[in-house]
Structure 1
Amino acid sequence: MKESLVNTVIVIAIVAIILIVVLISKSSKKDKPTVVVESKEKPEPSDIEPQASNSDESDIDYLNSFVVIDTETTGLSEGYQIIEIAVVDMNENILLSERIKPSIAIERSATKVHGIAESELSNVESFSSITEKLLLAIQGRRIAGYNLPYDTEAIYNSAIASDANIKLDNEALCVMQYANTTFKLTKSMKLTELCEAFSISTSNAHSASSDALMTVKLMKQLFEIENTFNGNYLPEFEEINPLNLSLCQDGDSLTEWTASDGRVMLFSPSSVGGSGRVAHLSETTKSMVTEIYKGDGAVEYIVNYESTIPTIEIKTYSEEEVENIENENQQQYIDSLRAELPVAGVVPKKGSLRLTLKNNILLEPYITQHFDINEQLFIQHQSLDSFLSGSLLLDFYDESGKLVAQQHLSKPWKRVAGIITSGYKATVQIVNATEKNNTKVDVIFDNA
């Protein structure tokens, strides 16, 4: 009987403990949900190296341990909520893709981006309905996302609004900050811009699943760069724009330009109106380049596609090398003119050409000359050898024989040079007064 009484007491105690646990669990659902994400504003290398958490973990295992989260939201206002969420693994399998009804209105500006209107969410449920699916999709995985803090804040806001309880304590990586670290950017680029740089399709951008898939592919590219260059991609440069770099061709020579604040920037050869900035020189590289220029040397920045990841090769030249290159280039130009001018020098049937004087300059200083209507200039006959041994510019004289201007050999003026060196002279009649550095002229040919 004593043993039976003891057993009864034990059973009652166990039942009491179970009831207490159930009551605590129920009351906890009313508490404010907690969202914890282990991410930093600017990740250190230890945050992204495969050995960060497990030294025995291979690179591929580390990469495959991630899932990417992306959300579309009600907008940017405080308390913004999720209207669409997706989770994708590194094999591009979509683990979760759901639309969610928010408790606040969708901003018009947000609808213009993702195209989702409130009327499309009338038959979907609140965030609490997908909480279990979300936790299952990320269970035991590292999480990543492009601007991940924005997505986790959206999860937090939606959890509060729908009285859901969720805790994200996964190891996490913000891919936007990962890109900023890789390319040494102080201003983040758009996800679509970075994807275009690596030929990742952006055709369905701004849906949660498409953006998550884009982020997966971008993350793989960044991981490849990280491993290929040991975490130090293009060490001589900062503010690298991979999109503008990807638009350059193999062997392109980048244009150097110094800003008023002292920054030295490189631009693609096709840059128009200041666009096409590829990178900035680091302070160390700028100091090195400055010393080369002080010694009358030269520097060239060549785009190199030896691998699928473009690089920039810095070529330096001494004063002697610069002089030799200039002489070689000059000789090549002279040789090309020697072949071109006799062919180009066909006198027009009417004996004249209507042309435009551009970049017409005085010898010193280099300023644009102004001419009035009906004014006349003269081009003297020269032999081909005499012309090629001179300035390689067309000389214009006034009536007194004074040199007043010169013209570079654009294609139309090469024809004039060809005619002049084949036994002719010319009178240049000003048709329209000089406007915006251009002067319309009739070049009238006559036998020398």
Structure 2
Amino acid sequence: MHLNNQPLWRAGEIGDIFNLPKFPVDLLGISIDSRTTVAGDLFIALSGDPGPRFGVIENARNGHDFVQAAIAKGAAAVMCRNDFDTDSPRLPVVDTLDGLWKLAGAARSRFDGKVVAITGSAGKTTMRRWLEQLLAPLGGIHASVGSYNNHWGVPLSLSRSPRAADYGIFEVGTNHPGEIEPLSELVAPDVALLLNVLPAHIGNFANMQALTEEKLAIASGLNEEGTFVLPESLRDKVTQRSLLTFGFDKAADVSGQLLDDKFVVSFGGIEFSLDVPWKSPERLTSVLAAIGVLYALKIDLSGLEYLFKTLELPVGRGNRHEVAGITVIDDSYNANPASMKMALSGLLQSESYGRSFALLGEMQELGSIAKTAHSEVAEIARELDKVLTFGAGFEESNIGEHYVSTDDLDLIEFVQGLCAGDTVLVKGSNKVFWKKQFVRELLKTLKERD
């Protein structure tokens, strides 16, 4: 349902963009999924095959097979192949992915607010959510939803941009070489943020250098006055005129250090203290990155410091749940070697009077480093009281109990063995826990036990 029922795209605009002077209907929204299409949407029937520009999507479906389902949901019009026939108003194109990109480009051209593009190996969605929270008092915001950061997610998010907003915040991701540059050029950001470069999704890259070069391409779409915000450790790898670096290194433009319970931030010779909900290095580094983006947008932080204490983590990114004295850390959205080690180190260093458990899912898309990466993670996890591993990646780890899938775990029996004071970390690649809603079932089982 569209809350204000105001056109996102007027019929005349669509006609001008696609050279269809008699396009008949205004559009309230954009959809590529018939299951979530609502009345007034333009349904874009993506073919499922992105062509040679982007990596092949596993089990992709052809949207033309779902046109009637979308119309039944109230789609006002359908973007489809030229040779596809339907009784609904048509927006015929040679290639529907190209059509989506064309609409996204038009959306960016009419957007007058400041635009931020975010990439990195980990933390993109968290950063996007944080920036939404920090910028909310200053104006209207349009941002990506979920993890829409690939060749269809980015243009879809752009095409949904409203006529008027003060800020646009978009995630940009990659699984294959050459994907970030065209996405950055489509977003055309005023500020490009590179959070980090870690061995995640490295299976399709020759080495870490190749992955680093791909991530650095987020700056390729910057306008002439745009600013590239990136870790201090990568400063020497770029040639952009306007750079702003962050990190614990005092050489960084935005640096910080944890003193007692305060996070002291330094920028431009000025120091100020922040109350933040986390003390881990990776979270504090992200706080510095967020501050870097705000400065790049020329935003005065005076009076906004209180917001940092209220920053929240998206679901599945380290959220803590307490049930009957048992702590469940839900870090199930995804995992790579670096984030897995960070999560385990945090668990080992946590102050808890009970036992520490880890349910670890295999890390996918690691290519040639997969065996070594899983072995290194297993070595750290040996210090815990109990470890359960899932998936082929951990099959040879020889640590704790191993299961092919979470379906093989007797969750009731596992929960019965937990006591008040215990802490349970759940972390793994997206397909292992997140897509099966494993943590929800774990919490449900815990509550039913008590």
The interval holding the TM-score normalised by the smaller chain is under 0.3
Give the TM-score normalised by structure 2. 0.22
TM-score (norm 1): 0.23
Q: Which has the larger radius of gyration?
A: 1
